[in-house]
Structure 1
Amino acid sequence: MRTSPIILKYSLFILLLALSFNASARQQPVCLLEQVMRERPILAELLTKAGYAPLLSCDNTYTILAPPESALRALQAASAGEVRATLAAHILKGNYLQSDLKEGSSIPTLAGSKLSIFRKKDQTLVNGVRILQADSKAKNGVIHGLDNVLAI
């Protein structure tokens, strides 16, 4: 029994449509906490230790200034209070894309301190620490990868 060309074309169309829906579902942004858990396991561990995991659920909008995992290893042995204080200086309430970080602006952190933003050529510096990977978007905010831990 031969399959008609119309049925083959229709079947191929349905298959391609299903694959495109699958691909778009995988590309949908996830909540900040889920994204951190996928991409930065040490940061996820420290956020949990500090008690910030519930804060980064999809209910609230935040910006995370994420130090490299290698720099965060030193914090793993610190007390929960020390981790909390350090990470609070790396979390901003609201959604700040790199383009929102204007030269000379001062942005409050979860810790209550203020971060100074500087622009040098095509680089953005936060308290003198360079943003290496900007604008990793999540459903409820954004993550910027830093080249070091911010001094608090």
Structure 2
Amino acid sequence: MREFRPGEAIAPLELEISLPMMVAYAGATWDWHRYHYDLQFAREMGLPAPFVDGQMLGGLLARTVLRWAGPEAMLRRLWLRYRALLFPGETITCTGVVEEVRRQESSLLLLCRLEVRAGDGRAVVDQAGAEVEVPAP
């Protein structure tokens, strides 16, 4: 079993957001609003392109922290604040750090601070965090 320590960096997730990825997410969540996939509609709204559904960013943060914590990890709580729109073709990096490790009866509760930044450095999601439960060593 691995140990988790406050200050430990969470392995980052970097990926390019694509329109097919956005459409797949829309299908999985039944969120078919046109501003998430229709270029013409987005432009009529004054946007350069369709924009990413914010909940997709929450899913990517969950993926980041669970992939890092291991196969027995359970996401107990996730929160985030959206700061900027994100468009297809942009690259993001999801990062985080362990803030606190709380010992419970037979497990550890990891309190993690998370964020998403676009390739140009702007914060897309901040004031984000997760509580992740893992088996105690």
More strand by percentage? 2
TM-score > 0.5 by shorter chain: no
The higher-RCO structure (CA 8 Å, 6+ apart) is 2
Give the TM-score taking structure 1 as reference length: 0.24
More helix by percentage? 1
Give the TM-score taking structure 2 as reference length: 0.26
